[in-house]
Amino acid sequence: MFLALTGAIPIVLTGSYRAGLFVAGIWLLSVAVLSGLDAWYVPAGGIWLREHDAKLSLGAWNTVALRLQNPLARRLTLQVRDSVPPLLQPQGEAGSGVCEAEGSWALAYRVFPVQRGDFQFGAVSARYLGPLGLVWRQRTHQFVDVAKVYPNLLAINQYDAFVRRGQLQEIGVRNSRRWGAGTEFERLRDYTPDDEYRRIDWNATARRRAPVVVDYETERSQNVILLLDTGRLMSTRLPLEESDDPDVYRGRPLSRLDHAVNASLMLSYVSQQVGDRVGLLAFGDHVSRFMPPRPGRGHFLRIANALYNLQAQPTEPDFGEAMAFLGSRVTRRSLVVLFTDVAGSEAAGTLVRSIAVAARRHLCVVVTLRDPAINALGKQPVNKVDEAYQRAVARLWLDERELALQSLRGRGALTVDTSADAISSDVINRYLEVKARASL
Whether residue 405 sits in one domain with residue 375: yes
Count of CB atoms within 10 A of residue 209's CB?
Answer: 7
Mean pLDDT, contiguous 10-residue spans, the chain (440 residues): 50 52 56 55 76 92 93 84 93 91 92 93 86 74 89 89 72 56 64 71 81 70 94 87 62 90 95 92 95 93 93 92 94 95 78 92 94 82 80 84 90 92 92 83
Same domain, 284 and 200: no
- Domain endpoint, select from 195, 217, 239: 217
The DSSP result for 200-258, as a single string, is B-HHHHHHHTS-EEEEEEPP-S-EEEEEEE-SGGGGSEEPPPP---TTS--SSPEEHHH
> Do 319 and 414 reside in the same domain of the chain?
yes
Instruction: Supply the pLDDT for residue 376.
Output: 80
DSSP label at residue 356: H
Query: Is the same domain home to 169 and 310?
Result: yes
pLDDT of residue 52: 93
pLDDT of residue 201: 77
Task: Collapse the DSSP code of 184 into the 3-class scheme (helix H, G, I; strand E, B; otherwise coil) and give the result.
Answer: strand
Q: How many CA atoms lie within 13 A of 225 on its CB side?
A: 30
- Region for 412 from its dihedrals, namely left if φ exceeds 0, alpha if ψ lies in -120 to 50, beta otherwise: left
Mark whether 115 and 165 lie in a shared domain.
no
pLDDT on residue 162 = 75
Quickly count helices (H) and strands (E) in the chain: 12, 21
Same domain, 124 and 266: no
- The total domain count for the chain is 4
Residues 209, 222 within the same domain: no
pTM of the model: 0.80
Count of other CB atoms within 10 angstroms of residue 276: 23
Same domain, 308 and 358: yes
Residues spanned by the domain of 22: 2-40
On whether both 329 and 314 belong to a single domain, the answer is yes
Detail the DSSP E strand segments found in 241-396: 254-255, 277-283, 287-294, 334-339, 363-369
232 and 351 inside one domain: yes
User: Residue 121 contacts by C-beta under 8 Å, 6 or more apart in sequence?
Assistant: 50, 82, 83, 84, 85, 145, 146, 147
In this structure, what CATH number is given to the domain that contains residue 55? 2.60.40.10
CA separation for the pair 241, 239 (Å, rounded): 7
pLDDT (0 to 100) of residue 250 = 66
Q: What are phi and psi of 265, to 5 degrees?
A: -65, -40
Do 272 and 191 share a domain, yes or no? Answer: no
Instruction: Assess whether 91 and 225 both reside in one domain.
Output: no
